[in-house]
Structure 1
Amino acid sequence: MRLDLAGVAVAIDGHTIVHEADLLVDDGEFVGLVGPNGCGKSTLLRTVYRALRPAAGLIAVDGDDVHRLPAREAARRTAVVAQETPADLDFTVAEIVLMGRTPYKPDAVADEKLCGLALDRVGLAGAADRIFATLSGGEKQRVLLARALAQQTRLLLLDEPTSHLDIRHQLELLHLVREQGIATLAVLHDLNQAAAFCDRLYVMNAGRIVAGGPPEQVLTPDLISEVYGVRAVHRPQLVFERLQEER
């Protein structure tokens, strides 16, 4: 699965928010989209998953314009963990994950098996009957990831997936995403985490993609200063790693 953006512009209420964005996510890549607040990252991602339409340019999944695909076919190709998902849904975990099967013809036995496998992959095999609203923030994010995995797409889109999570759950979620081995585009805020987990990064500023490439080539002191208005200094710091026994 391959995602291509070519010359994508996005306008809201007559104001251009994203200008001529070019971006590529190849099969199996974990690609991060970073930049300061309000630079257009989430707007661009929402356009990829069809919540917004581009004013210009092309967004293609495996060569097909996503905005010309039937909705069901688009959902078979791309799964989304969006930023604005309600946290107090009065459904069981199993019911939430089963929503990922909506694009397909119902098959109760196969769907239940796939949802069980998705929960197992995110470490929540025993949580199917729990009420979603009673879960911790980290557990909710894993359930939403399981729903996306149950959708069985080869492209995953994540909008700030670690927001409001503590350090342990941030690392746990990013490891889970990385381990899936599917094409992934994620809007991220933490530059250290983006550098640690992503194969490539795109940096946005004022609605434009201003840099793209491997993290070590993109996250230079000069670029960070220009985009974020802060000085990047290498100093001793705490580096956090997930404890293996926690999964």
Structure 2
Amino acid sequence: MRFFSLSVFVVITLVAADFTDASIVIGDFEVSGNQTVSFAGRTQSQLDLIASGSVPEPDGIQKVIQDIANFGKTSPDAISITGFDTLSITATGTWANTANLSSNGMGPSGNSGDNKTTKAGYRIFGISGMSARLNTLIGVFLSDDIPDPNGLPEMLSVNDGDDMTTPLLNQTFAIGADLSNIIVPENATRLFLGHHDGQQFKNNSGLVTATITGTSVNTLNAVPEPSTILIWLVLGMVGYTSMRFRSFFSV
């Protein structure tokens, strides 16, 4: 029975290993210095309609209108994160808040001590905005719904020490070069990444590459390899045969 018990223990251990948290590389994503998360989840016509109807005009609205006119460059890409509970993001590359990348280029952690707050004109589309280092990589989670301009979340601030790993839907958070264990908010299906600047993204330059890893709790790590299945079967058969053999001679 001792050998049988050991076999069962080994089989259970192997099976349990495939039911642990599954950490999966979602992919590598290029993020341009022109892309702003303020435009996340909206079409160009939707942005135009809101911007043209803003009365009184919020601070920076003329820069917003120029960026909307360059929607092909300034709109961020949607990244599907459905099924993931936490994310970790690392980023490398060089970008700048000007057209002169060679002189003003910075990494995704941004300029040390040079903080910028998103202008009010960029916060009329339902995305919170951000107070963080200029040139920082930032992100925002959205559901399948269009962001509600009347339900603007609180703006997070790096200077105030706000926790960037627990953002709400439509709440911009700072990522920088490395941010781990970001809790995906309930109902989030999409992640958008962008460059942090106070205003005017159309003249920015450079890009960074973000690598995103996701973890989903209590999911299968992977379909077991045929060789693994064979090991389970052999161990089970050996254990069962050993038990029957000992039972026969103990009669």
Provide the TM-score with structure 2 as the length reference.
0.24
Larger helix proportion of the pair? 1
Which protein, 1 or 2, shows the higher relative CO under an 8 Å CA cutoff with sep ≥ 6? 2
Q: Rg bigger for which structure?
A: 2
